[in-house]
Chains A and B, each alone.
Chain A
Amino acid sequence: MNPSRPYPSRRRVLGLGGALAASAGLGGLAACSSGPRAGAHGDPAKGDITVWSWAGPAAEMRALVPEFTKAHPGIKVTVEDIGNPAIWDKITTSMAADGAGLADVLHIGVDYLPAYTDRFPGQLADLGPLGAGKYRTAFADGLWQTVSLDGSRVDALPWEANSGGFYYRADVFEQAGVDVTALGTWDDTIEAGREIKAKTGTYLLGIDKPASQQDSANLFQLLLQLQGAMYFDLDGAITVSSPEAVLAMTLIKRMNDAGLVNDISGGWNSLISSVKSGTAAVLPWPTWFGGVIEDSVPDQAGLWGVRLPPAVQPGGTNAATVNSTHLAVSGTSRHQAAAFRFVEFVLTRPRSQVRIYRNQGIAPALMAAYEDPVFHQPSEFFGGQKKGEIFLDALRADSPAFNYTSDYARALKAVTDAQTRVLLRGADPATELRRAADQLAAQTARKVAR
């Protein structure tokens, strides 16, 4: 370069670049430290709103939109199928960015709701001032506690209420000469499993042993909840190594050691292909899974049956609300009132919920919906049983409240790792669960309830 040419020196340019970067950084910091931008109730009769959900529920909401628009012509609704579990990452990212890009209405599961309200306060609108209070008694027992944790604000309205279920291949049980209705406890079930395996070669049930998916601990969780226990007690202390948890994991180990557990690693596709090929006699899945079975193997109508799961202890309960999902309104939405109108339309109108149940088998939390005959008809697919009533009984039974806390995801990871070691390496349930509890305590600063 010719030195007489008055170009800015390299040093100067680097300096400028640094200053630019610093100002961008500081500007960014300033923008971020201001917290989530405030949303607004807006006009309840006007606004463009976006809804995030997944698969079946998203399709059902989309199908309800024309009817909703007829009643509320000023509100334009766009339903987006984000997919599950992708939706959790998407919500998390938006919330971490102070609500940037967040949809107006969010479909959130019970496993994520406390984490969002805890870690991102204010990112979900309080539905109380929008009129949610009048639905306090409209939903299944215990669910209002879930959506209104401290009773002062309402974070969401409940959509589905899933009870633990026990779907079974009636023909397989019959072939093995086992009376499925007589199974009182899981001990009986293990004995029945041995009979079935010996006589038909069919496994009792399937578990994703290496935990290739997050939900591989479903059975463990069901066995816990049937004992009224969970990963945390109501005070938030860690209970993954409680006697109930050890008993639940020991039951699973006994099934596995007896060769009754089919490995369904590989996620959803493996699960569905195992349903299709009939490798397991029992699917201990909640209410919503009935619809999935009907869709997956329509030619097996009449071969299936359904009942509530056996108790863990003799005389114990066989009803547990194992999970629920909810619709929330984003705290940064400019159209919260309009968004709430849509939430009300989907969740508090029995007609909407009946329609969704009919198409997807999603069990409503809205008790008024159960007056519809669809819940009381015998199901052809499930051998003439009244599937709707079976689960309604569970919903009406006393179900203890469960505390998911904001650390549910960590607990689930610790528990599934423990289960993997028990199933793949024959590890001792009590030792592994104690290890999981200690790990959780170190990660979360929660105490272990001993």
Chain B
Amino acid sequence: MTTSAPQARTAPPPARRKAGRQRPRRSGRRLAPYLFLLPAAVLFAVFKLYPIGRSFFLSLYKSVDGVDRYVGLDNYERLMDDPLFWTALRNTGVILVIQVPLMLALATGLAVALNSALLRARAVFRLGFFLPMITGLVAYGIIFSVLLNQQYGLANWLLSLVGAGEVPWLTDPLWAQISLGLALTWHYTGYNAVILLARLQTIPSELYNAAAVDGAGAWQSFRHVTLPGLRPALLLTTVLSTIGTLQIFDEPYILTRGGPDNATLTIGVYLYQNAFQYFDFGYASAIAYVLAVLIGVLGLIQFRVLGDKS
């Protein structure tokens, strides 16, 4: 900043005076793009910047008998000793470490398959895999909770046809985590596959031809041509999935309400409970800020590890 400031100051004064009669028209032209941007900027300020700032203030307050009292970092300290917060963090971490890599691997495979010259009715498949993404979160949550109902869900009925016993999809802690992972995978794999597919199509076919000439098999050309080519898109999908996973709320809220016994309690659900069920907006804001820092740190690490070294 300091290096460029003098430059800005020494820049010749704009030729305002000279403009004369043309001035109104020119300044109008000059302002026009910013006027067009103004509505977006105002909306962004009111609905994004303001809540972000306000929730930081809130995180330093505690409501006592309806009066907000400044408590400094108390809410953050309380968070460190809160077993439920750590449970939520662990659950979210488990999804991040297990579900996200599986889903991205699946998406990569899917993208390669969708890109294959052998595939007929390509548009139908692409659409089919992308459609879950535009399904309303609540609608798909409810559909999964009906499908996975232990007593009269479709999944258990199909299993019973092959002689398998009832699976406690949503009522056993471990199975509930698996169900949540399944739902997330169904919802987001196609979306990631489409991003990867777009990148895949920019990889020049000459590279594959050259690899073939050098005697590379399908696996080798995937490993040495496709994967390096996909790197930027993989970074993008990894970062997006990480952010999405850390903020995950709708699925566990609708499928299991964070249960059973907090097995699917995520940071998002715990934040919601504190704000809207326990009216503890200060504490919820503190959770939100810890979450934001986590997302920032993880995003940076991913850029460092996966980003283009050059």
Contact = CB atoms under 8 A, between A and B. Distances in A.
Interface of A: 4-9, 11, 13, 16-17, 20-21, 24-25, 28-29, 32, 88-89, 92-93, 96, 115, 118-122, 209-214, 263, 265-266, 270, 273, 406-407, 409-410, 413, 417, 420-421, 424-425, 439, 442-443
A24 B83 contact: no
Interface stretch (B149-157, B229-237, B243-251, B289-297): B149-157
A33 to B, nearest CB: 9
Given A6-B16, A25-B50, A442-B82, A17 B41 contact: yes
Interface string B267-286: 00000010011110100000
B46 A119 contact: no
Contacts of B63: 119
Contacts of B27: 6
Given A4-B15, A120-B66, A417-B262, A212 B278 contact: no
A213 B259 CA distance: 9
B261 interface: yes
Contact of B276 (A6, A92, A442): A92
A88 B276 CA distance: 8
Nearest to B261: A420
Nearest to A122: B66
Given A212-B256, A273-B152, A439 B54 contact: no
B170 A8 contact: no
Given A120-B66, A273-B152, A210 B261 contact: yes
10 contacts: A21-B45, A21-B50, A24-B45, A25-B54, A29-B50, A119-B63, A119-B66, A209-B171, A417-B261, A443-B278
Contacts of B53: 25, 29
Contacts of A118: 65-66
Nearest to B16: A6
Contacts of A21: 41, 44-45, 49-50
B121 to A, nearest CB: 38
Nearest to A117: B66
A32 B278 contact: no
A20 B260 contact: no
Contacts, number: 129
Contacts of A6: 14-16, 19, 26-27, 30
Contact of B260 (A89, A210, A442): A210
Given A210-B256, A413-B273, 15 more contacts: A4-B15, A5-B30, A6-B14, A6-B15, A8-B30, A11-B4, A89-B276, A119-B63, A266-B145, A266-B150, A270-B151, A420-B260, A420-B261, A442-B81, A443-B82
Contacts of A214: 257
Given A92-B279, A406-B279, A210 B171 contact: yes
A265 B281 CA distance: 30
Contacts of A115: 279
Nearest to B13: A6
Contacts of B8: 9, 11
A420 B265 CA distance: 14
Contacts of A410: 277-278
